Amino acid sequence: RRFAERKRCADLECSMLMCRGKAMRDFKGPDCRFVNFKKGEAVYVYYKLIGKSTELWAGSVGSDFGYFPKDLLEINHNYSNEELELPTDETDFVCF
Q: Which CATH number fits domain 6-69: 1.10.10.10, 3.30.750.24, 2.30.30.40, 3.40.630.30?
A: 2.30.30.40
* pLDDT value at 82 more than 90: no
Query: Does residue 68 have a pLDDT over 90?
Result: yes
pTM, two decimal places: 0.92
Comparing CA positions, the residue from 14, 65, 72, 30 lying closest to residue 44 is: 65
Q: Give the model confidence (pLDDT) of 20-34 as tens digits.
A: 999 999 999 999 999
Question: What pLDDT digit, counting tens, does each position of 3-58 carry?
Answer: 899 999 999 999 999 999 999 999 999 999 999 999 999 999 999 999 876 799 99
Single-letter amino acid code for the residue at 71 = D
The one-character DSSP state at 93 is G
Q: Tell me the domain boundaries of the chain.
A: 6-69
Count each helix (H run) and each strand (E run) in the chain, helices first: 0, 7
